[in-house]
Structure 1
Amino acid sequence: MADYRPKMGSEEVAGDTDLSGKLVVVTGGSAGLGIETIRVLAKCGAKVVSTVRDQEKGQIALETVKKSVPDADVELAILDLFDLDSVRKCGKEIAENFPKIDILINNAGVMAAPLSRTKEGLEIHLGTNFLGHYVFTKYLINNVIQAAPSRIINLTSSAHRLSPYRLDDPFFEKEEYHKLTAYGQSKTASVLFALELDRRYKDRGVRTTAVHPGLINTELGRHFSEEEVAFLQTGIPEGLSMKDVSQGAATTVWAATTPDFDNLAGKFCEDCAVADEIDDPDEHERGVMPHALDMGVAATLWDLGEQWSGEKFPD
């Protein structure tokens, strides 16, 4: 059984970790989890590149970090994961400016959005949460290899329980669109992407994991109505409770700082532990479903990412 630690805060997890000389890239640096992750890693001495969609919001987030960590070394980069042209531009610029990337944290995402499609025709959640990060990671992977031993951390969610990867209808072209199902599929895809990344690059010193931050107010998403938020909160299992942002960022910070990263690479983590595999989500408050660990589907999804984007990872 996993030794879950749901109440750990991000600074507590980081402890006295020294990341001086390390370069960390974090997507989604203008929102709650991203800000807290950047704040703590900067406090540990890392230089951080924070990607944001909106320069003004990014600057406000940066000021928030510097109020807590005055000497924080944080640089902003503009990235819209919904737009692959933006992803390519940002990826190229970061790759050119930073030859070695020690830690890549794919933190950004969209949750429970109304149906829309990317220019490539993908449903918004799959296009943003999976394909956007797939292409972004592709542009940075050689830099991550150069820093080996290095690590990649994909943010996922317990919402992966809501849907496997829908091989027959990933874009909701045949069936009615449900935003939570779409979000769940994208979070399953985030785990599968992490597993396949780890398989492909572990022999080159790059290890990858997927982390679920927990149930956090900031994660409920701007696309939920008040009624939907109330419904989600009443549906929280008795043994779980809402986390504050520090507790939510803790598993990401743990994955970024633990000296035992090899033990969580290629796995699904939550509450600062490698999660147990479960078969019935109704009987378990925590844990990862088998469909998110299916290496055959992970390989298929990787090939689809290449097909949809026209981008090929280096061998």
Structure 2
Amino acid sequence: MNTVSARPSVGVHVVTGATAGLGLETAARLAEQGLHVVIAGRGSERLAAARASILERCPGASLDVIAVDLASLDSVRAAAAQLRERYTSIEVLVNNAGVMYTPLERTAEGFELQFGVNCLGHFEWTKLLMPLLLADDGARVVNVSSHAHRANGIDLADPNWERRPYDKFVAYAAAKTANILFTVGLEQRFAGRGVHAFAVHPGTVNTSLGRYMSRDDMRHLKRLVASRAGVESGATPPPIVYASVRDGARTSVWAATTADLLDRGGLYLADCAVVQAAAHATDPIAADALWAMSEQLCGPWGAQ
């Protein structure tokens, strides 16, 4: 489905998971700045509704849509091929789509769902779109991560939970760590060719991303947050403070557009500022190991 509402006269900005929540808000905010935005997501009806929503908010917005399911590498490859046919360059790629705290489920290729969607799907997506990013002058890749990465690193010996009892909270933290390590790996490989990468913490936002969570899960999450905040065992956990969707999208939009980050990259961002990620998420050796493993699972990156 190709429904370009105007021929792009400005750089192309692609946002995954842009049919709802943070992704939709990010796409809308970029469109409001007069940028050409490609809404990438699942389902023709959801894509059409997202496009209509942005046009209602921003009449005359320059928009395109592309159907992609990050839980299927075949879908990722087909969608990327369509974008390569439509465009000669991409200025910004916002890898926003994700799933959170899911039960043990697997992608079409058999990857654990959180790792497969949040990480490997975007690895393949970015790989296939890198020629278009390299064709732009100063392109950016924005990977949406989370402060949840601080809880756990990624077990590269068993990333798909084939030999361990599954823990959806640990799996999510590992996937968010992988998002930052991927950012480090991208910066190592492509900064010298003008493409810079950033990882973003949007804040704790109450969106459909939390649809898999039960009341028990919420209580467990509060205990985890309290533990990281140093609250004593047995004390009442503090309430989780949610940011609005609009506030949650601010840092992704800032990462995509601000001149403050010109010629910089490999950074972790929150509240529209550079912050320090956990050491296990920024280790260049771990980043190389994750990259090599991702190539084994998805196929080699190849010459771009």
Asked whether 1:39 is paired with 2:31, we answer no
| Structure-to-structure mapping, 1:114-263, within 5 angstroms | 114-218=103-207, 220-229=209-218, 231-232=220-221, 235=225, 241-262=241-262
CA distance in 1: counterparts of 2:10 and 2:212, whole angstroms: 39
- TM-score of the superposition, structure 2-length normalised? 0.89
Q: Is the 8 A contact 2:72 2:109 kept in 1?
A: no
- Alpha-carbon distance, 1:169 to partner: 1.9
Asked whether 1:74 is paired with 2:63, we answer yes
Cα deviations across residues 112-155 of structure 1 (Å, max 9, x unaligned)?
Answer: 11112234332111111111000011111010010121111000
Identical counterparts, % of pairs? 40
CA distance in 2: counterparts of 1:162 and 1:229, whole angstroms: 16
Q: Is the 8 A contact 1:153 1:252 kept in 2?
A: yes
CA distance in 2: counterparts of 1:255 and 1:186, whole angstroms: 20
Asked whether 1:27 is paired with 2:31, we answer no
Moved more, 79-88 or 219-228: 219-228
Moved more, 217-226 or 171-180: 217-226
Moved more, 218-227 or 36-45: 218-227
Paired residues, number: 286
CA distance in 1: counterparts of 2:222 and 2:57, whole angstroms: 31
Specify every segment of 5 or more residues in structure 1 that has no aligned partner in the other structure, as ranges: 1-18, 277-287
Q: Is the 8 A contact 2:99 2:209 kept in 1?
A: no
Moved more, 182-191 or 238-247: 238-247
- Alpha-carbon distance, 1:240 to partner: 7.6
Q: Which structure is richer in relative contact order (CA contacts within 8 A, separation 6 or more)?
A: 1
CA distance in 2: counterparts of 1:172 and 1:204, whole angstroms: 36
CA distance in 2: counterparts of 1:137 and 1:89, whole angstroms: 13
- Alpha-carbon distance, 1:102 to partner: 0.4
Q: CA RMSD in A?
A: 1.9
CA distance in 2: counterparts of 1:220 and 1:143, whole angstroms: 29
CA distance in 1: counterparts of 2:198 and 2:115, whole angstroms: 19
Q: Secondary structure at the match of 2:39?
A: strand
Q: Is the 8 A contact 1:195 1:298 kept in 2?
A: yes
Asked whether 1:296 is paired with 2:259, we answer no
- TM-score of the superposition, structure 1-length normalised? 0.86
Which residue of the partner structure matches residue 55 of structure 1?
Answer: 44
